[in-house]
Amino acid sequence: DTGVSQDPRHKITKRGQNVTFRCDPISEHNRLYWYRQTLGQGPEFLTYFQNEAQLEKSRLLSDRFSAERPKGSFSTLEIQRTEQGDSAMYLCASSLGGYAQYFGPGTRLTVL
Amino acid sequence: SQQGEEDPQALSIQEGENATMNCSYKTSINNLQWYRQNSGRGLVHLILIRSNEREKHSGRLRVTLDTSKKSSSLLITASRAADTASYFCAALKTSYDKVIFGPGTSLSVIP
């Protein structure tokens, strides 16, 4: 399968724990995006990379959130000291340049 | 980048009818994109229309762009129950802009 993959698909954690999500983009895509989506809302932009450089971070991304794309391929999104408000679907997408984005299936996070 | 605003927020139609959704934006754009999201899934890119294009077709989808009115519409013809989903537009100011999504239009196609 050459689509965008995300792992895990579901994560249940207790408040205060750290979680890490992984995204594997389409191999030739140089851009990688992270979004967060809550029920009934459109995806909210969190951050994006061009190759390994993180070009922009949303103000939504508090200092508990960190994202990396160390070799310009896969990316990780870590949330430290999770809070109940972090419960959401975390979506990853990739693109070649700034055109059509291809989304992964998402990681659903539930913080108890 | 800028957020597109979809209208209506919700739309319910009978199978076989056409569905029309609208998108408005505020500043000049390079391109406008439409995406679909089935419940609990990731988004799927449907179609991209560039600022110098007025209409584009893809299967049962027809997208129009009116840059003078800063609006776009997505028409789904002969709708099917499988078209039930949320539809989002995204307006990009440059080809290297990031995508920002609006709240979307929730379409229900009743069999």
Both tokens of A5, joined, read 């993959």
Tell me the torsion sign for CA atoms A5, A41, A69, A49: positive
The pLDDT tens digits for B13-59 are 999 999 999 999 888 888 899 999 998 788 999 999 999 999 999 99
Which of chain B's residues have a Cβ under 8 Å away from the Cβ of A100? 33, 45, 48
The pLDDT tens digits for A17-64 are 999 999 999 998 999 999 999 988 888 889 999 999 998 888 878 899
- Amino acid letter at A93? A
Q: What is the DSSP letter of B100?
A: B
Of A45, A98, A102, the CB nearest to B96: A98
Say if the Cβ atoms of A97 and B96 lie within 8 Å.
Answer: yes
| pLDDT reported for residue B96 | 67
Is the backbone peptide bond immediately before A8 cis, with ω within 30 degrees of 0? yes
Question: Which range has highest mean pLDDT (A88-97, B31-40, B56-65)?
Answer: B56-65
Which of chain A's residues have a Cβ under 8 Å away from the Cβ of B35? 101, 103
Residue A2 predicted with pLDDT over 90: no
| pLDDT reported for residue B2 | 56
Say if the Cβ atoms of A45 and B98 lie within 8 Å.
Answer: yes
CA distance A47 to chain B (A): 9
Angle at A61 between CA A24 and CA A104, to 5 degrees: 25
The residue with tokens 């659903």 is: A108
User: Distance between alpha carbon B3 and the CA centroid of its chain, in Å?
Assistant: 12
CB of B31 less than 8 A from some CB of A:
yes
Average pLDDT, chain B: 90
- Amino acid letter at A106? G
Q: How far apart, in Å, are the Cα atoms of B64 and each of A104, B2, B54, B55, B89?
A: 27, 19, 6, 4, 12
How far is the C-alpha of A97 from the C-alpha of A95, rounded, in Å?
A: 6
The residue with tokens 């406008």 is: B32
CB of B94 less than 8 A from some CB of A:
yes
Which of chain A's residues have a Cβ under 8 Å away from the Cβ of B98? 33, 45, 48, 56, 98
Of B41, B94, B101, the CB nearest to A98: B94
How far is the C-alpha of A41 from the C-alpha of A37, rounded, in Å?
A: 6
